[in-house]
A and B are shown apart, each in its own frame.
Chain A
Amino acid sequence: MTEKSGTALSRRRLLTMIGASAGATAMYQAMHSLGFAAESKFQGPIRLSAAPKGASVLVLGAGIAGLVAAYELRNAGYQVQVLEYNARAGGRNWTLRGGDRYTELGGETQECRFDPDLYINPGPWRLPYHHRGMLSYCKRLGVALEPFVQINYNAYLHSRKAFGGKPQRLRAVQADYDGHVAELLAKATRNHALDAYVTAEDQAILLSSLRSSGALDGNYRFVKGFDSSERRGFERDPGGGMSARPAFSEPIALSDLLRSGLWAALSFGAAYDMQTTMFQPVGGMGQVGQAFARELKPLIRYNAKVVDIHQDGRGVSATFEDTAAASSRQTLRADWCVCTIPLSILGQIPMNVGAPMASAIAAVPYCTGLKVGLQFKRRFWEEDEQIYGGITYTDLPIGQISYPSSRFFADGKGVLLGAYIWDMRNSMDFTSMTPAERVSKAVEYGSQIHPQYAKEFDNGIAVAWHRVPSAMGCFGLWSDAARAEHYDNLCAFDGRIVLAGEHASYMPAWQEGAVTSALDAIGRLHERAVAGAAG
């Protein structure tokens, strides 16, 4: 068989190229037109007027969307009941820590053997500063936040095919890319190649700006010396006393840099969703779901597997099985239903909605994300390599290695995110493995970047989202065509049922999509309830 390759340029590759060659603004505009980078529509806490007397709502799913809906509707005076499949609240908002047990589809149970205070977030793990809805709920619920280090200039970019497989510091790749491009542009300017586009007066300013942005020398060259080393780092750092004199480092040659492909990762931290400052809840993302659960405690029924949803002219009934008690089916009823069950599951639950919503539910497959957490006997990335938080990107199947953003310099063991795989090819492959194989592969691949793995590895845990019984997928994988045809129908009320969740947002996979979709849904629900009560 001949080697197969897709001929279409992937959206991410296109975005990466735009970002790398045209700058972050062009990247942003392109992302916006492609449906990403949508600004959160959160406008501050929702203010619902008083609920009509006796009005009731059934919320299906206690993930972020369901919890937000339940919290706000309860505050407005609705009688709220929540049904949740898991024995905990949060849904994909989830933290695994030492002592936790997790059984995936297929029956494999893993016990998390991390030390106290160490954890991984199998699902969402970071909060951009402009995800104001999530940040607002953290503040209101008393969930403490700390910085999440997204961009670390001392982390690595790594390719098996470049530099003999030796990881390169982001700092050096960024400086050298900026420097070489600035030098080329300066040459073009001084050779009058840009005369048709830039006035003489502006060319002088442009040259100054290139010298500044690219760390060029007085002759507009990007060369080994103080200017370039101040960006890319020194061969030997300056110090004090007799050993004070620095040694400058040699920039990577332009051709080597281009052919390495490593520049493809330079725009990752420049994306709107990834820009500094990002946050994480102290003690794990799951703190958010837990905080909501404390607020809503008496309203949530856990271990409830919804098997049927039926509406009529006066209300909505949900039938569920108690998975802990193996008891007979029970039914709850309310005037309205906010259904946040992932489409991967909702598509299999009988529910009498019209063809537009039913077709929309069936139109969205789910992405196959996967994470592996690895505990090591010491924080060698800090001790040996001075990497404090941030992410190493690699072309190995593990995709990336993320270093913890908390407990810097702590003695004892540490936990890395040893794999975060969201490309379909590798995540399907890893999902098909046993949990032990996933951990083993993550260690094997990661040791190509950090040789310390072999000696320091302690234990690990792997979560493949298609194997998570309550989600059966990572997040809704909307194509542009499916979104054009079905998105509005997915979000529109069908009788007394409205859907919410990241799948009902333009922010795929982000919790902020769940928050804003829930607020939008309950705003419309409230209008209907009030209008109905008045009429």
Chain B
Amino acid sequence: MNKKRPAPTAAAVLCGGMAFASIALTGLLLEGPARADTAGIFDAEPFSMTEGRQIYEHICRGCHMANAGGAVGAGRFPALTKDPALGSRQYMALTILRGRRNMPAFGAKYAVGFGGPPVILDEAQVAAVVNYVRTNFGNRYTDAITAAEVGALDRSTH
């Protein structure tokens, strides 16, 4: 491909010697979120809700719908009712952590963002929403998953 490189501008040439530029960048990288909160305003807040119902209603409901019945169009979003796969709490937790086909991953190791950070759910949040779905919408599973079990699952995979 015949790509024309842009001529370096004065600002770009200078930036190597611009102490404040490299400090600003390094500072952000090292200090992470605390500093970043005051740095750029246009990234969304992290998802901090903790209850299973809240997580379902603000994330999962977008595709799986208010009654967890899923939907059918050119393809489908699976219902989270009467699905034998829900019998495995580990399967559900792993699906949320790692994503599955068009469903995005929510585990910190796998989640991908665009135009901002990805939505990341921690071990406790994953456990909460798994337990919520498995005990609502007509589901009556009694074997709850714990945050520790989600953490172990997350570490057991790569």
List residues of chain A with CB under 8 Å of any chain B CB: 1, 3-13, 16-18, 21-26, 28, 39, 41, 85, 105-106, 159, 161-162, 184-185, 188, 193-194, 196-198, 206, 209, 259-262, 264-265, 305-306, 341, 343-345, 347-349, 362, 364-368, 393, 395, 397, 399, 422-426, 428-429, 431-432, 464, 466-473, 477-479, 482, 508
Taking CB atoms, residues of chain A closer than 8 Å to B17 are 194, 196-198
- Docked Cα-Cα span, A7 to B1, in Å, equals 37
B34 to chain A, nearest CB (A): 8
**Given A347-B102, A366-B102, A425-B45, A9-B118 contact (CB < 8 Å):** no
Question: When the two chains form the complex, which single residue of A4, A365, A399 contacts B101, counting CB atoms closer than 8 Å?
Answer: A365
Instruction: Confirm or deny: B119 has a beta carbon within 8 angstroms of a beta carbon on chain A.
Output: yes
Other than the given A345-B102, A467-B71, A482-B112, 10 more pairs (CB < 8 A) read A13-B43, A22-B15, A23-B9, A26-B12, A85-B74, A264-B41, A348-B76, A362-B101, A366-B102, A431-B62
Question: When the two chains form the complex, which single residue of B10, B18, B40, B43 contacts A209, counting CB atoms closer than 8 Å?
Answer: B10
**Given A18-B25, A365-B103, A365-B104, A23-B44 contact (CB < 8 Å):** no
Q: Please tell me the size bucket of the interface on B.
A: 35 or more
Question: When the two chains form the complex, which single residue of B14, B62, B75, B116 contacts A423, counting CB atoms closer than 8 Å?
Answer: B116
Q: How many residue pairs between the two chains, A and B, have CB atoms under 8 Å in the bound complex?
A: 227
Instruction: Confirm or deny: B99 has a beta carbon within 8 angstroms of a beta carbon on chain A.
Output: yes
Taking CB atoms, residues of chain B closer than 8 Å to A466 are 62-63
A479 to chain B, nearest CB (A): 4
List residues of chain B with CB under 8 Å of any chain A CB: 1, 3, 6, 8-12, 14-21, 24-25, 28-29, 32-33, 36, 38-48, 50, 57-63, 65-66, 71-77, 99, 101-105, 108, 112-120, 122, 124
**Given A17-B28, A22-B11, A305-B74, A477-B104 contact (CB < 8 Å):** yes
7 contacts between A and B (CB under 8 A): A13-B40, A23-B12, A197-B14, A344-B102, A364-B102, A365-B103, A470-B73
Taking CB atoms, residues of chain B closer than 8 Å to A209 are 10
Question: When the two chains form the complex, which single residue of B20, B21, B39 contacts A264, counting CB atoms closer than 8 Å?
Answer: B39
- Docked Cα-Cα span, A276 to B19, in Å, equals 31
Would B102 and A4 count as touching, CB distance under 8 A? no
- Docked Cα-Cα span, A18 to B76, in Å, equals 40
Taking CB atoms, residues of chain B closer than 8 Å to A365 are 99, 101-105, 112
- Docked Cα-Cα span, A188 to B102, in Å, equals 52
Would B11 and A25 count as touching, CB distance under 8 A? yes
CB-CB nearest in chain A for B33: A5
Would A348 and B101 count as touching, CB distance under 8 A? yes
- Docked Cα-Cα span, A307 to B119, in Å, equals 32
